Homo-oligomer: A and B are copies of this chain.
Amino acid sequence: MTRCTLCERGEAFFLRPYSGESLCRKCFCQSIEMKVQAIISKYEMLKPDDSVAVAVSGGKDSVSLLHIMTKIEERFPKAALSATIVDEGINGYRDEAMKIAIENCDKLGVPYATVSFRDIFGHTLDEIVQKTKDAKLTPCSYCGVLRRRALNIGAKSVGADKIATAHNLDDETQTSLLNVIRGDPLRILRARPVSAPVHLDFVRRVKPLCEVPEREVALYAYTKRIAFQSAPCPYASRALRNDVRNMLNRLEEKHPGTKFTIFRSVQRIRNALDESRLSVELKSCDVCGEPTAGKVCQTCLILEDLRVA
């Protein structure tokens, strides 16, 4: 039996390749919780009296984040924690995930707000996919823009100061490489661990899992017996992202720590670009008044398309 490197008592069940540590279940879970706390401090994600809305989809990452944030919040009596659950309207998929999200909130005693595409935009994602099936854009393109807006509206409705999303280290490195591979590298400026205060109506986003590898989030969820939805979204077409994911996993296996190095490299490029004149400031959309980089926001452009379609 291999003993845990940290407590030297428990039986090791996980070898962390990039650090060499062998960890027992208890120390592993604690290490994840401490890591999240350290990430929050390092990037100054939250203030002690912030009201934080966790974006909970029901997947392993967001539900794990909710559990970890609940533990952390106990130590900050002036902070408030809630969940924002977005109902995109995907029959046979989202309803199941929402049920799981709500059960987790109830179990943890975390208040939650749900916002639905139908209520806010007048259409479910299923309807949008139907209406736009001849368009070039994928369902994910529509959903990404609208979900972002829905989250902002949901978080504002409960007076949240910050939205915490569950993007993990793998998500972040994949997205950065995808931006480069797709020819839109300056998008890395938008995907920071803490979003910039670009607009009064834009609730700032923080990513407390951004330096936690995906497999460790999954292992945390399994070890803690957290209920989550594991089915993938029926609309997800992640061909290129899957290629990049496999590529990064192969690299990480051969050269442990590679994902962290890539993450830090992207941070260095961001910091270097910050010294130039590239930081974005958002304006208010001419149509709906919500934050946007252009004159009319992407959400209103999509809604206008749907009106015509």
**What is the distance, in angstroms, from A276's C-beta to the closest C-beta of chain B?**
3
Known: A272-B278, A278-B275. Is A183-B261 also a contact (CB below 8 A)?
Answer: yes
B243 touches A254 (CB 8 A): yes
Given contacts A181-B261, A276-B276, contact A240 B266 (CB under 8 A): no
A252-271 interface with B by 8 A CB criterion: 254-255, 258, 261-262, 264-266, 268-269
Residues of B with C-beta under 8 A to A277? 275-276
A247 located at the interface, meaning its Cβ lies under 8 Å from any Cβ of chain B in the complex:
yes
Main secondary structure of the interface of A (DSSP, over half): helix
Within 8 Å of chain B (Cβ to Cβ): is A251? Answer: yes
Q: Does A237 contact B (CB under 8 A)?
A: no
Does A30 sit within 8 A of B, measured CB to CB?
no
Report if A266-B180 is in contact (Cβ < 8 Å); known contacts: A243-B254, A254-B243, A273-B272.
yes
- Residue A157 interfacial (CB < 8 Å): no
CB pair B276 A184 closer than 8 Å:
no
Within 8 Å of chain B (Cβ to Cβ): is A179? yes
Decide if B276 touches A186 in the complex (CB within 8 Å): no
Does A48 belong to the interface (CB within 8 Å)?
Answer: no
A289 proximal to B (CB < 8 A): no
- 27-78 of chain A: CB within 8 A of chain B: none
Bound complex: CA of A167 vs CA of B266, how far in Å? Answer: 25
Q: Does A122 contact B (CB under 8 A)?
A: no
Name A169-223 residues within 8 Å CB distance of B.
179-186
- The reply to whether the CB of A16 lies closer than 8 angstroms to some CB of chain B is no
A-B contact pairs, 18 of them (CB 8 A): A180-B262, A180-B265, A181-B261, A182-B265, A183-B261, A183-B264, A183-B268, A184-B265, A185-B266, A185-B269, A240-B255, A243-B255, A247-B250, A269-B273, A272-B273, A272-B276, A276-B276, A276-B277
Taking A181-B251, A272-B273 as known contacts, 7 extra A-B pairs with beta carbons closer than 8 A to each other, sorted by chain A number, are: A180-B266, A181-B261, A181-B262, A182-B265, A183-B261, A183-B268, A276-B277
